[in-house]
C-alpha cells in the first residue's frame, strides 16, 4: 500500500496561500466577465475603460484569457509552495508591466490625470502588493 | 513568518489573510468617489472616439463618421456610457435613417456626401437629445 507524507512544502493553506487563493478568485471573476460579455465589462468595470478608446471585443477576450491564466497561476501559488514563488513572480511581472502601460498612457495624455486615482485600486495597488507578497514568499521553504 | 517555516495559522492570522486576499480580489470592482470616468460632472469634454462631441443638458453625444457608418456614443455628465432606447439621424436636413444599437454605440449607414448631420437620441426615461454636427471642413478635404 502506498503511503503519503505531508511535507512543509505541500502542506495545507497558510497565510499567503489564503491571500493568493482569494486573489485568484477575483481574477477568475474578472476573466469570466471579460470572456462572457466584453461590452458589459467595457461599460461597467469602474475603471474608466472607455477613456482608453472604443471597445474591441476581440481584444477584451484576449485580455480575459490572460486574466484566466493569472487566476490559474495564483491558484497554483496558493496551493503549492513548491511553485509559489515562480508563479507569484510571474504574475507580478505582468501586473508591473500593465501598471507601466497605464503610467505611460496617463503621462502621454491618452487619458486624463484623473486616471492616477482611478487606476490606483485596480492597477497600481495590486501590482505593489503582489510585489510585496513575492518578496515575502521568496524565502519560504519549497 | 519571516523566512524558514511558516507560522501557525491562528484565527487572527486567518482573518487577516482573508481580509488581505479579499481586498486584492474585490477592490478593482468597487465603485468609489470618482467612479471611473470623470471626477466631476462635465469635467471631461474630450472626444474619445475621434469624432465631434456635443453636450445636451447633462448628457453628451459624440458623433463619428467612419467606414460608411455614422456612430453616436452617448454618455452622461460623468462620461459614463449610456445605452439609449432608440436614435435617428438626418443628413443635410433631408434624408432620415434610424439608428441601431451595436455593442456600445448607436449606428446607421452614412450618407457620405452630406456635411450636416443631426442626431436625435431617445433615452430610456423618454428624454430626447438632439444635436447638430457640422462636417463641412471634412467634406471639403
B38-69 pLDDT per residue, tens: 557 787 787 877 789 999 999 999 999 988 99
Kindly state whether A97 is in contact with chain B, defined as any CB-CB distance less than 8 angstroms.
no
CATH of the domain at B79: 2.60.40.760
Could you tell me which of B88, B85, B91 has the C-alpha nearest to residue B127? Answer: B85
Contact across the interface for B18 and A22, Cβ inside 8 Å: yes
- Which residue bears the cell 493568493? A20
Euclidean distance between the first and final Cα of chain B, in Å? 68
B3-51 pLDDT per residue, tens: 456 667 788 999 999 999 998 998 878 765 444 455 577 877 878 777 8
Give the mean model confidence (pLDDT) for residues A100-112: 84
Give the mean model confidence (pLDDT) for residues B94-100: 95
d(CA B64, CA B80): 18
Tell me what pLDDT residue B76 has: 86
Q: Helix, strand, coil shares of chain A as percentages rounded to 5?
A: 75, 0, 25
Tell me what pLDDT residue A55 has: 78
Give the mean model confidence (pLDDT) for residues A83-92: 96
Burial of residue A134 (CB within 10 Å: 0-12, 13-18, 19+) is buried
Tell me what pLDDT residue B48 has: 74
Tell me what pLDDT residue A20 has: 96
d(CA A30, CA A84): 22
- Does the residue B14 lie in any domain? no
- Does the residue B26 lie in any domain? no
- Highest-scoring range by mean pLDDT, A110-119, B90-99, B103-112: B90-99
Q: Which domain holds residue B104?
A: 52-140
- Does the residue B35 lie in any domain? no
Burial of residue A97 (CB within 10 Å: 0-12, 13-18, 19+) is exposed
- Does the residue B38 lie in any domain? no
Buried b (16+ CB within 10 A) or exposed e, B84-122: beebbbbbeeeeebebeeeebbbbbebbeebeebbbbbb
Chain A (34-93) residues lying within 8 Å, Cβ to Cβ, of chain B = 39, 42-43, 45-51, 53-55, 57
Contacts of B14 in chain A (CB under 8 A): 15, 18
A40-55 pLDDT per residue, tens: 898 788 887 877 877 7
Asked if the model's pLDDT at residue B81 lies above 90, the reply is no
The DSSP call for residue A122 is: I
Contact across the interface for A50 and B26, Cβ inside 8 Å: no
- Does the residue B15 lie in any domain? no
The shortest CB-CB distance from A43 to any of B6, B39, B104 is to B104
- Does the residue B58 lie in any domain? yes
- Does the residue B99 lie in any domain? yes
The shortest CB-CB distance from B26 to any of A26, A39, A57 is to A26
Kindly state whether A10 is in contact with chain B, defined as any CB-CB distance less than 8 angstroms.
no
ipTM value: 0.78
Half-sphere exposure of B36 (CA within 13 A, CB side): 22
- Does the residue B119 lie in any domain? yes
Q: Delimit the domains of chain A by residue range.
A: 13-137
How many domains does chain B divide into? 1
Half-sphere exposure of B76 (CA within 13 A, CB side): 17
Amino acid at each position: 500500500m502506498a503511503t503519503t507524507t505531508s511535507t512543509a512544502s505541500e502542506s495545507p493553506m497558510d497565510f499567503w496561500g489564503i491571500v493568493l487563493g482569494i486573489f485568484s478568485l477575483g481574477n477568475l471573476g474578472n476573466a469570466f466577465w471579460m470572456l462572457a460579455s466584453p461590452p458589459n465589462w467595457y461599460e461597467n468595470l469602474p475603471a474608466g475603460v472607455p477613456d482608453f478608446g472604443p471597445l474591441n471585443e476581440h481584444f477584451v477576450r484576449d485580455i480575459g484569457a490572460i486574466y484566466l491564466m493569472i487566476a490559474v497561476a495564483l491558484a497554483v501559488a496558493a496551493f503549492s509552495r513548491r511553485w509559489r514563488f515562480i508563479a507569484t513572480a510571474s504574475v507580478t511581472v505582468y501586473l508591473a508591466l500593465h501598471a507601466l502601460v497605464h503610467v505611460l498612457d496617463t503621462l502621454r495624455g491618452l487619458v486624463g490625470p484623473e486616471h492616477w486615482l482611478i487606476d490606483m485600486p485596480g492597477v497600481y495597488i495590486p501590482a505593489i502588493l503582489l510585489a510585496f507578497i513575492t518578496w515575502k514568499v521568496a524565502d519560504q521553504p519549497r | 513568518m519571516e523566512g524558514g517555516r511558516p507560522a501557525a495559522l491562528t484565527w487572527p492570522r486567518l482573518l487577516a489573510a482573508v481580509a488581505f486576499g479579499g481586498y486584492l480580489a474585490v477592490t478593482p470592482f468597487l465603485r468609489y468617489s470618482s467612479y471611473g470616468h470623470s471626477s466631476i460632472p462635465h469635467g471631461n469634454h474630450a472626444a474619445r472616439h475621434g469624432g465631434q462631441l456635443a453636450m445636451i443638458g447633462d448628457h453628451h453625444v459624440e458623433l463619428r463618421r467612419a467606414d460608411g457608418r455614422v456612430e453616436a456614443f452617448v454618455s452622461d455628465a460623468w462620461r459614463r456610457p449610456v445605452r439609449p432606447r432608440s436614435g435617428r439621424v438626418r443628413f443635410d436636413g433631408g434624408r432620415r435613417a434610424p439608428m441601431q444599437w451595436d455593442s456600445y454605440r448607436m449606428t446607421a449607414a452614412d450618407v457620405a456626401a452630406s456635411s450636416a448631420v443631426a442626431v436625435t437620441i431617445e433615452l430610456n426615461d423618454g428624454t430626447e437629445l438632439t444635436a447638430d454636427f457640422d462636417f463641412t471642413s471634412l467634406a471639403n478635404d
